[in-house]
Structure 1
Amino acid sequence: MAVTARKGSQFRAAVLFLIPASIGFVVFFAWPAIRGLYLSFTDYNLLRPPVFIGLENYIRIWSDPVFWNSLRVTLEYVVINVGVQTAAALVLAVLMQRFTRSMVVRGVIMLPYLIANVIVALVWYWLCDYNLGIINAALDFFGIHKIGFFGNENIAMVTIAMVNVWRHLGYTSLLLFAGLQAIPRDVYEAAEVDGAGEWRVFRSVTLPLLRPVLAFVLVVTVVGSFQVFDTIAVTTRGGPVDATRAINYYIYQRAFKQLDFGYASALAVILMVILAGVALLQNKLLRANESDLER
């Protein structure tokens, strides 16, 4: 009886703790998701009630060149951001593991991530300004032609990606650093006894054992990269010549500038399906739920 009563009280306590999170999930995620899915099948512009139109919005998306361009631009951003950020974070994590584990160093590395993304974007926008930015002033001082970082359609998206790499690098590197900390030291000692060099140890020991953490980092980074918005909104606003109009910014334009909420909802559903597919594919390919330590 005492065991049953204790289990009952624990269950009630668990329910009490779950209620606030459940309310937040329903109000801020589940209901908006269901509402958005419904609106994707309607013609809705805030001025009149939604009118059900079936799959018409999705058919329009298939033949919408702006959507395909925004998807291409987003993929370009994802490749640059994820590739550079992951490689640089891995190098930084290994350097921290090898040379210093100071909390002060970790705090300094983490600082950019603690700054709001809009502020980071504005600061870099001013630093890269063609006429007044300190970066172009330095280039001009050394006799190098100024660069329109945010105004050149060929490098605008690269610039935005590098800004976000700078902000998120510390956070990503600390995640990888935590994964490195979890690798047993005796594994490295065994590799050294076998005569393996630095590169061989990194390739054959560190990377395989770091795979679960690396898979998590890649999934989070890729999903986050597909949702890039604020950096574009405060710098290029989709320009020049649609070179930085990512899919999230296109959804915002259709919804809040053109008041085409039905079409914007359909775009959001397509993005959600893409993100779910990418996350599942990454987990499958990287075997995120497996660890070589268990073999």
Structure 2
Amino acid sequence: MKIGKRGFGERHIPIWGALFALPALLYIVLFQLYPILFSFYISLHDYDLLSDPVYVGFKHFAALPYDRAFINSLWITIAYVVYTVVPVLGLSFLLAWALTQVRKSRGLWRTLLFIPSVMPIVSVALVWKLIFNFNGPLNDAVTLAGGQAVPWLNNSTYAPIAIVIMSWWHAVSYYMIIFLAGFLSIPRDYYEAAALDGARGFQVLRYITLPAMKPTIALAVVLATVNGLKTFAFQQIVTDGGPANATQIMTLLIYKTSFSYLDMGRASAYSVVLFGGILAISLLQIWFLRDRNG
């Protein structure tokens, strides 16, 4: 196999193809592969950005089981992922199914429901911060209904709930589009055949829709889980990890440890662990989506 000019009867890789792929390869190496390797390198050192790194081996990794901030942040991250992934995917699935039943103004409804996911996440966070403010419109509605104002962002019990609610609003439309694409890819012949056989309602959902949607569901679950593990903006902008570290997820802990406390070695160890978790989820995606019949 040659790289070069086209020759009669020769298999080749066009040089122009390699040149066009080069910028993407450089981007991956410089902005993805190199940071990962450098992060692992720094995790083996004590480094405060002001002096030279000092090699300490696996000291930071060995200390993780006894690091209360890490353990607390890990549990908060897991809870956040669980409480967002399941409801978000359920709501997205139902919305996508409802859109398949719409006959009039279908494009308009799809556009309106997709708007939240394309809005800048910082703007979304700032708006929801105003909504959840103690003197904000949400508490105004609660008091008008005869209830008491809730300290949404100043209470360690309510703050995680507020973050989860705004995550639902922002994420549902994104996964709705994924599920909608899955629904639309199912051949109509399946449903016509099921109708001829007398299948209705739940039977169609169980024996036709869900089996055909398995690859889409697996993809959505993996994407939602990975995105949940990587989330940062809502917690940083709305609560900054508070109150009492109740919303300090792993990404925010890494940010604070590195840039607030200048403990780059420990922060890099956190990031390596988080990367390992995300990599494991990605490998699960490959396992679920591979062609089992191939």
Q: Following TM superposition, by how much is the alpha carbon of 1:138 offset from its aligned partner in structure 2, in angstroms? A: 0.9
Alignment of 1:118-267 (within 5 A): 118-131=122-135, 133-267=136-270
Measured after TM superposition, the shift of residue 2 of structure 1 is 6.0
Contact 2:42–2:265, Cα closer than 8 Å, also in 1: yes
The answer to whether 1:95 aligns with 2:98 is yes
1:31 is the counterpart of 2:40:
no
Inter-partner Cα distance in structure 1 for 2:188 and 2:54:
63
Task: Give the Å deviation of 1:3.
Answer: 4.9
The answer on 1:109 being equivalent to 2:113 is yes
For 1:6 and 1:153, locate their aligned partners in 2 and report how far apart those are by CA, in whole Å: 68
Give the whole-Å Cα distance in 1 for the aligned partners of 2:107 and 2:84: 27
> Is the Cα contact below 8 Å between 1:212 and 1:290 reproduced in 2?
no
**1:183-211 Cα deviation digits (max 9, x unpaired):** 01111112222222211211221111111
Change (3 A) 1:138 1:273: same
- 96-105 vs 185-194, greater mean Cα deviation: 96-105
Note the alpha carbon deviations across 1:217-238, whole angstroms, 9 max, x for none: 1111100101111101111111
What is the TM-score with the length of structure 2 in the denominator? Answer: 0.93
CA distance in 2, matches of 1:140, 1:271: 42
Aligned counterparts of 1:76 and 1:2: Cα–Cα separation in 2: 57
One-letter code aligned to 2:124: V
- Which residue of structure 2 aligns with residue 288 of structure 1? 289
Separation (CA, whole Å) in 2 of partners of 1:283 and 1:240: 38
One-letter amino acid matched to 1:189 = E
* CA distance, structure 2, for counterparts of residue 63 and residue 2 of structure 1: 62
Read off the aligned partner of 1:224 and give its amino acid letter. Answer: N
Cα RMSD between the aligned structures? Answer: 2.0
Q: Distance in 2 between matches of 1:192 and 1:157?
A: 45
Structure 1 unmatched runs, 5+? none
CA distance in 2, matches of 1:2, 1:130: 70
Other structure's SS at 1:235 match? helix
- In structure 2, how many angstroms separate the alpha carbons of the residues matched to 1:243 and 1:87? 26
The alignment covers a number of residue pairs equal to 289
**2:65 corresponds to 1:62:** yes
- For the pair 1:73 / 2:76, whether they are aligned, the reply is yes
What is the SS of the residue equivalent to 1:258?
coil
Can you list the C-alpha shifts for 1:156-187, whole angstroms capped at 9, x where unaligned? 21221221221121111011101111101111
In 2 relative to 1, CA 209–52 (structure 1 residues): closer, same or farther, beyond 3 Å?
same
Alpha-carbon deviations, 1:54-95, whole Å to 9, x = none? 010101112101111101000110011111110000000000
Structure 2 letter corresponding to 1:126: L
Instruction: Go from structure 1 to structure 2 and tell me whether the alpha carbon gap of 1:207 and 1:88 turns closer, same or farther (over 3 Å shift).
Output: same
Distance in 2 (CA, whole Å) between partners of 1:268 and 1:96 is: 39
